[in-house]
């Protein structure tokens, strides 16, 4: 595993591994034990430019490559991930503090999205559309946008980098990837290494490891990329969207959430407890789809709360390398401090701590809070950590109002003994995704993934990915002579 952190602690530009030329280094730490994993000299604005220029040079030939030949690269990439799965899992555990359970979950989804990219290479289809003009043939071509800039987050860096990088490449584009500073290997250079070894021609995928303190908005302002795919917070997403709009670029924004899991009065309580605990505490709650809020009908609240609290108390906190660990470290000390502050603020506002977790270094034990005042700002923001808010309600109408009372609209779930009741409930929630009798954390290769309100703009997966990373071109052919008015 250590070779990943030594061999890949570089920039990858125009098919070459090389150090950055910035004046300072990004230090990559293990969030559990603070071990220094790598030191990476950052990329400058000039290197961002070189990466985009290389991508533009390589893209045209790639777009003209037979899609069956392009497909072979993704078949090889999938085989490589399968062969190196255990090694990659160890890197995920070390760099972002993911548990073994989480690493397996991320790799499973990453393989599914690579499989979809194999098919996506062959998916773009043209159309011939009728015309009111005699003798005119309207051809509609779906073509690559050219170069795509991808900015990936720290929580599922391997998956969420691949989720944009692989489809964009499969559809005939070139890519420049900027991973999060906390996960430069898993989210950046490891992805480049997989595709390099899979035979992707040089220049088509470039990775720049850098920081906005060094490059400012150069990554998104650069004239070459036509689409910027960003996954991260709504605050940064708003800025990305603004800069893209000012530069006539398309942005695909997968942003934060404040999802709710709702337990109606006819729910299977034991099953709802299992779904709620997973939905809130998977990967320490550092998931955009996580169930920040757990709403329970007052008629079953006592039973649910008792069982929920009991299960949360069983979650093992500690070393993510231990297969028994469910709650590993959060990504860094700033995040840990902020989460401690959330718990203290909630209690100061009058909340009751049914479980009051302590914080040791980056290990944040789970907390369960109830009785938070209905007007608390904490109920409307994204809490990126293992803190659950339990909220009782009286009847479906009140539940719908509470669920929608947030700027976000990403995911959610409802538990009920009547499926159609659940579907009718889901239709009233302002989200991009909602699940009946399941958890809130789901992603599938063919199903549109994305949110409403502050949770993002656009959709990924399946045909939606093809729409995001291609554009339509109308070419008309006039058979015979056309008539003109003068």
Instruction: Examine residue 481 and state whether it is found in any structural domain, yes or no.
Output: no
Q: What are phi and psi of 350, to 5 degrees?
A: 115, 5
74: domain CATH number?
3.40.605.10
| CB-neighbour burial class of residue 482 (10 A; exposed 0-12, middle 13-18, buried 19+) | exposed
Q: Within this chain, do residues 71 and 198 fall inside the same structural domain, yes or no?
A: yes
Local confidence band at 10 (pLDDT 50, 70, 90 cut-offs): very high
Average pLDDT of span 254-262: 97
Q: List C-alpha distances in Å: 109 to 127, 159, 296.
A: 32, 7, 30
Of the candidates 224, 241, 362, 368, the one whose C-alpha atom is nearest the C-alpha of residue 301 is 368
Judged by DSSP in three states, 440 sits in coil
- Provide the pLDDT for residue 124: 86
**Per annotation, catalytic residue among 106, 244, 288, 382:** 288
Average pLDDT of span 190-197: 98
Average pLDDT of span 382-392: 98
Q: What percent of the chain has pLDDT over 90?
A: 98
Instruction: Examine residue 480 and state whether it is found in any structural domain, yes or no.
Output: no
Q: Within this chain, do residues 346 and 383 fall inside the same structural domain, yes or no?
A: yes
How many whole angstroms separate alpha carbon 172 and alpha carbon 34?
40
Q: Within this chain, do residues 291 and 414 fall inside the same structural domain, yes or no?
A: yes
Instruction: Examine residue 227 and state whether it is found in any structural domain, yes or no.
Output: yes
- Provide the pLDDT for residue 1: 60
Active site residue 288: yes
Q: Which domain holds residue 147?
A: 2-255+455-474
Q: Give one DSSP letter per residue of 58-88, joined into a string.
A: HHHHHHHS-HHHHHHHHHHHHHHHHHTHHHH
How many whole angstroms separate alpha carbon 368 and alpha carbon 460?
33
Tens of pLDDT, residues 35-91: 999 999 999 999 999 999 999 999 999 999 999 999 999 999 999 999 999 999 999
Of the candidates 134, 139, 180, 181, the one whose C-alpha atom is nearest the C-alpha of residue 161 is 180
Instruction: Examine residue 450 and state whether it is found in any structural domain, yes or no.
Output: no
Whether the per-residue pLDDT at 2 is higher than 80: the answer is no
Q: Within this chain, do residues 325 and 190 fall inside the same structural domain, yes or no?
A: no
How many whole angstroms separate alpha carbon 467 and alpha carbon 461?
10
Contact 218, 48 (CB under 8 A): yes
The whole-chain average pLDDT of the chain stands at 97
pTM of the model: 0.97
Hunting for tokens 């997968």 — which residue is that? 254
- Provide the pLDDT for residue 298: 98
Whether the per-residue pLDDT at 155 is higher than 90: the answer is yes
Q: Within this chain, do residues 126 and 166 fall inside the same structural domain, yes or no?
A: yes
The number of domains in the chain is 2
Identify the bridge partners of residue 175 per DSSP, sorted by sequence position: 148, 205
Torsion (CA) 133, 135, 136, 141 in degrees, nearest 10:
150
**Per annotation, catalytic residue among 196, 254, 365, 396:** 254
Which residues, including other chains, have CB under 8 Å from residue 323's CB and lie 6 or more apart? 100, 101
Tokens describing residue 481? 């002579």
Q: Within this chain, do residues 355 and 230 fall inside the same structural domain, yes or no?
A: no
Local confidence band at 186 (pLDDT 50, 70, 90 cut-offs): very high
- Provide the pLDDT for residue 305: 98
Q: Within this chain, do residues 226 and 298 fall inside the same structural domain, yes or no?
A: no
Tokens describing residue 161? 């980098």
Instruction: Examine residue 443 and state whether it is found in any structural domain, yes or no.
Output: no
Contacts made by residues 238-246, CB under 8 angstroms, sequence distance 24+: 240/151, 241/457, 243/217, 244/220
Q: Within this chain, do residues 179 and 201 fall inside the same structural domain, yes or no?
A: yes
How many whole angstroms separate alpha carbon 177 and alpha carbon 151?
6
- State the number of CA atoms in the 13 A half-sphere of 367 facing the CB: 27
Contact 22, 41 (CB under 8 A): yes
Q: List C-alpha distances in Å: 346 to 13, 308, 389, 408.
A: 47, 19, 10, 20
Q: Within this chain, do residues 385 and 239 fall inside the same structural domain, yes or no?
A: no
Q: How many CB atoms lie within 10 A of CB 299?
A: 13
Q: Within this chain, do residues 348 and 318 fall inside the same structural domain, yes or no?
A: yes
Instruction: Examine residue 449 and state whether it is found in any structural domain, yes or no.
Output: no
Q: Within this chain, do residues 45 and 167 fall inside the same structural domain, yes or no?
A: yes
Active site residue 254: yes
How many whole angstroms separate alpha carbon 379 and alpha carbon 373?
9
3-state secondary structure 133-193: CCCEEEEEEEEECCEEEEECCCCCHHHHHHHHHHHHHHCCCEEEEECCCCCCHHHHHHHHH
Q: Within this chain, do residues 234 and 318 fall inside the same structural domain, yes or no?
A: no
407: domain CATH number?
3.40.309.10
- Provide the pLDDT for residue 123: 85
DSSP 125: -
Local confidence band at 125 (pLDDT 50, 70, 90 cut-offs): confident
Instruction: Examine residue 110 and state whether it is found in any structural domain, yes or no.
Output: yes
Instruction: Examine residue 445 and state whether it is found in any structural domain, yes or no.
Output: no
Tens of pLDDT, residues 222-237: 999 999 999 999 999 9
Q: What are phi and psi of 40, to 5 degrees?
A: -125, 115
Local confidence band at 34 (pLDDT 50, 70, 90 cut-offs): very high
């Amino acid at each position: 595993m250590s070779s990943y952190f030594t061999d890949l602690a570089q920039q990858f530009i125009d098919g070459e591994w090389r150090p950055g030329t910035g004046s300072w280094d990004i230090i990559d730490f293990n969030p559990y034990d603070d071990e220094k994993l790598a030191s990476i000299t950052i990329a400058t604005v000039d290197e961002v430019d070189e990466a985009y220029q290389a991508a533009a040079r390589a893209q045209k030939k790639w777009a003209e490559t037979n899609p069956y030949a392009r497909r072979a690269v993704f078949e090889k990439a999938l085989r490589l991930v399968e062969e190196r799965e255990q090694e990659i899992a160890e890197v995920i555990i070390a760099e972002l503090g993911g548990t073994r359970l989480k690493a397996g979950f991320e790799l499973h989804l990453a393989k599914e999205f690579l499989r979809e990219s194999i098919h996506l290479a062959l998916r773009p289809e043209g159309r011939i559309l009728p015309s009111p003009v005699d003798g005119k043939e309207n051809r509609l071509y779906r073509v690559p946008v050219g170069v795509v800039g991808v900015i990936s987050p720290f929580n599922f860096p391997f998956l969420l980098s691949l989720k944009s990088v692989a489809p964009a490449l499969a559809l005939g584009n070139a890519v420049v990837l900027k991973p999060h500073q906390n996960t430069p290997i898993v989210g950046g250079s490891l992805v480049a290494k997989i595709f390099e070894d899979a035979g992707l021609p040089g220049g088509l995928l470039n990775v720049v490891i850098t920081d906005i303190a060094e490059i400012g908005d150069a990554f998104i302002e650069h004239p070459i990329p036509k689409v910027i795919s960003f996954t991260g917070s709504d605050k940064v997403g708003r800025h990305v969207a603004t800069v893209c709009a000012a530069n006539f670029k398309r942005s695909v924004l997968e942003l934060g959430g404040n999802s709710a899991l709702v337990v109606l009065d006819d729910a299977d309580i034991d099953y709802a407890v299992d779904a709620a605990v997973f939905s809130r505490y998977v990967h320490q709650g550092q998931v955009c789809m996580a169930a920040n809020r757990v709403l329970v009908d007052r008629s079953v609240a006592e039973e649910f709360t008792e069982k929920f609290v009991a299960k949360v108390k069983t979650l093992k906190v500690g070393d993510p390398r231990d297969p028994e660990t469910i709650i590993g470290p959060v990504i860094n000390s700033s995040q840990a401090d902020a989460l401690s502050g959330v718990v203290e603020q909630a209690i100061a506002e009058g909340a009751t701590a049914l479980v009051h977790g302590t914080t040791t270094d980056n290990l944040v034990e789970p907390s369960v809070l109830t009785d938070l005042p209905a007007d608390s700002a904490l109920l409307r923001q994204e809490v990126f950590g293992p803190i659950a808010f339990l909220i009782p309600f009286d009847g479906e109408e009140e539940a719908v109002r509470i669920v929608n009372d947030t700027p976000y609209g990403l995911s959610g779930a409802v538990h009920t003994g009547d499926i159609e009741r659940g579907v009718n409930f889901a239709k009233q929630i302002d989200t991009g995704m909602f699940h009946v009798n399941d958890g809130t954390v789901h992603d599938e290769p063919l199903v549109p993934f994305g949110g409403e309100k502050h949770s993002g703009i656009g959709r990924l997966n399946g045909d939606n990915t093809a729409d995001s990373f291609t554009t339509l071109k109308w070419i008309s052919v006039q058979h015979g002579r056309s008539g003109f008015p003068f």
